[in-house]
Amino acid sequence: MKEIENEKPIIIIEEKPDVIPGQGEGEVPTIVVERDDKNESPASAQKAKRWPWIVGSALITIVCCLALWLGWRYYRAYNNIGVPVAVTSEQNIAKLQAFHSQPTTPEVIKTSDSILGVAMNFYEMKGLRAEIAMSEPDTADVSVYLYSRCSDYHKDFSIISSLVMDGQEVKTVDGKRLGYFAGADGNYVIGIGRDEDVKEYVKGRQGCFFRQYILLSAGVLPRQFYLHGKVERRGIGRMPDDKLYYIETRHAETMWDFADALREYGFVDAIYITGGYDYGFYRTADGERHHIGDPNRYPHKYPGQIPWLVFRKEGVSGS
């Protein structure tokens, strides 16, 4: 028998193992190997190896869900409107903040034209400021140079769309009406979008704001119109030089034909204005009053219960 000692433990090699009682000669004895990790079963070891994968998969799932949620919020706030946007909220706020160094003579200039078979009147407003009032202006009020309907209302006279009057929020609705009109500091703009940045700015400046349907955004018609049939149509449109026009059709038209005619005429953005042939008026530079709509519909059958968009001389407050 030889003994080989390298380092502990000592390994003994037997050239001719002794015969164990009860064991035949030539049979190999059973060798029992003891494990150092006596207390760890193979199943426990396999389970321990799976834990890092489970934790990692859970973290990846959480990160993906968070990314999808943030992406959905971004898409809903800025892109889920079906049309491109020509002017951002930040750009419209900058327009509302613009300072006019030279006063402009208050007036409304009317022109008429027809395109794609749609006859329209265009009213360019100069030297005016916008406000929203619950009382229809008196025809004798010489400070008013143009007025019109603005927000829609239910049968109980509750406002349907978002509305801000004198900086106070009357109604908040996020729905189908993704166009907006905003006025503050003697300036006014129209825009397209879901975010409320312009509305919040207007509230801080005691201005006005309301939402309406999109007619045109960046020269593109919306995917669908929610109003059908043929009636007299009205809107507010913006040309490439940033001039705003109040617009009315002279005959009954569909929303699609009205919007398509505005696009063909050259408008970049346009929002719908409710009211059809409800009465309104405008004044020329000499202060003379001219009819818009049906004079027989003045005063409105619901006095003091619906909102009006009013354009007045700069520096003159409504009563």
pLDDT tens for each residue of 261-308? 999 999 999 999 999 889 999 999 999 999 999 999 999 999 999 999
Predicted local confidence at residue 60, as pLDDT:
85
Task: Return the higher-pLDDT residue of 214 and 64.
Answer: 214
SS (H, E, C) 204-222: HCCCEEEEECEEEECCECC
The reported pTM is 0.75
Residue 125 pLDDT level (bands cut at 50, 70, 90): very high
For residue 1, pLDDT beyond 50: no
Three-state SS for 279? Answer: coil
Round to whole Å and give the CA distance between 121 and 108.
Answer: 12
For residue 121, pLDDT beyond 90: yes
pLDDT tens for each residue of 128-139? 999 999 999 999
Predicted local confidence at residue 84, as pLDDT:
95
Please provide the average confidence, as pLDDT, over all residues in the chain. 85
For residue 47, pLDDT beyond 80: no
For residue 5, pLDDT beyond 50: no
- 70-84, 89-103, 238-252: which has the minimum mean pLDDT? 70-84
Helix (H) or strand (E) holding 232: strand 231-238
Predicted local confidence at residue 52, as pLDDT:
76
Round to whole Å and give the CA distance between 4 and 8.
Answer: 11
Average the pLDDT over 89-98 and give the result. Answer: 97
pLDDT tens for each residue of 160-219? 989 999 999 998 876 789 999 999 999 999 999 999 999 999 999 999 999 999 999 999
Round to whole Å and give the CA distance between 191 and 83.
Answer: 12
Give the CA dihedral 283, 288, 293, 295, nearest 10 degrees. 140
Average the pLDDT over 138-163 and give the result. Answer: 94
For residue 42, pLDDT beyond 70: no
Residue 29 pLDDT level (bands cut at 50, 70, 90): low
For residue 46, pLDDT beyond 80: no
